Amino acid sequence: MLCNQCPRQCNATRTATENIGGICGMPNMPMVARADLHFWEEPSISGTNGSGTIFFSGCSLHCVFCQNGDISTINKGKLITIEGLSNIFRKLEQKGAHNINLVTPTHFVDSIICALDLYRPSIPIVYNSSGYETIDTLKRLEGYVDIFLMDFKYINSEKSKIYSNAIDYPKICKDALLEVYRQQPQCVFENGIMKKGVIVRHLLMPQSTMDAIQIFDWVREYLPNSFFSIMSQYMPLFKAANMKIINRKITEREYDKVVSYIFNTGFQNCYVQELSSAKKDFIPDFDFTGI
């Protein structure tokens, strides 16, 4: 197949086992680095039992600070079949997962839809994305995805170009968020666990407090029934350790400025990550568990 299902529009040749010319570097069949219960998502996603998280290999964005660089850029992972992916859904459900959490799934949407057609779990399907999505790809997911867990990384196109080589990211992400909000306009919970809805994540980065505030204000205005999750876990990993400005963690002052602003608006639908979360302890081992 010639692939144009992400905004890069590579027109890459992707066969079952090969990728020629594509930025994600992935074949058409799914490649997975880990599939297990995960306890470090938002409380309504992880709950007490854990989120049934499937970490896909490859990525179309390639952020310089990616904490999952081993799988997003180095492409560590195991190639599996569509039947194998549907079996992973079943196994995670049997382990008591609150949901099936598809991490960095964009380039495997074809396989994910086929796997869900083979076996649709009785628990929610979470689409855990960078926010760099085409509307056509998102529309194909309508009826398959219950919860969209979407990043809004940048509102400044200059930063999105420097850190992800995606100058169009801010507009692409806004359009994508409006589309998933159309599909899931209300957050539905049962015993504190999200069953349907949209959560918008933003990773606070060094010298970017105003960006974070602008992103929060946009979400509050245009996606008023969604949840906003401000994350403080940024660490200068991967290529970021050698880049000026972002070669450090965020400061307490930066954190307090953004969190105080959010609280002072009175917006209730918020998750706030503790500043102490910037630790490598929260990065999973991509050791092929559950595959």
Query: pLDDT tens track of the chain, all 291 residues?
Result: 789 999 999 999 999 999 988 999 999 999 999 999 999 999 999 999 999 999 999 999 999 999 988 899 888 999 999 999 999 999 999 999 999 999 999 999 999 999 999 999 999 999 999 999 999 999 999 999 999 999 999 999 999 999 999 999 999 999 999 999 999 999 999 999 999 999 999 999 999 999 999 999 999 999 999 999 999 999 999 899 999 999 999 999 999 999 999 999 999 999 999 999 988 887 889 999 999
13 falls within a domain: no
Would 12 be classed as within a structural domain?
A: no
* Residue 19 covered by a domain: no
The answer to whether residue 67 is domain-embedded is: yes
- 3 state DSSP class of 27: coil
- Is residue 115 included in any domain, yes or no? yes
Structural Rg of the chain based on CA atoms: 18
The range of the structural domain enclosing residue 154 comes to: 26-282
Domain at 63, CATH number: 3.20.20.70
Burial label for 286, CB within 10 Å (0-12, 13-18, 19+), is middle
- The CA distance from 65 to 237, in Å, is 5
Beta strands in the chain (DSSP E): 2-3, 12-14, 19-20, 31-38, 51-56, 78-79, 100-103, 125-129, 147-151, 188-190, 193-203, 227-231, 270-272
Domain-located, residue 290: no
Number of structural domains found in the chain: 1
b/e burial code for range 5-31 (CB count within 10 A of at least 16 → b): bbbbebebebeeeebeebbbbbbbbbb
Please name the residues in contact with 163: beta carbons below 8 A apart, sequence gap of 6 or more: 63, 64, 65, 154, 246
Is 269 a domain residue? yes
The verdict on residue 17 lying in a domain is no
Chain-centre distance of CA 122, in angstroms? Answer: 22
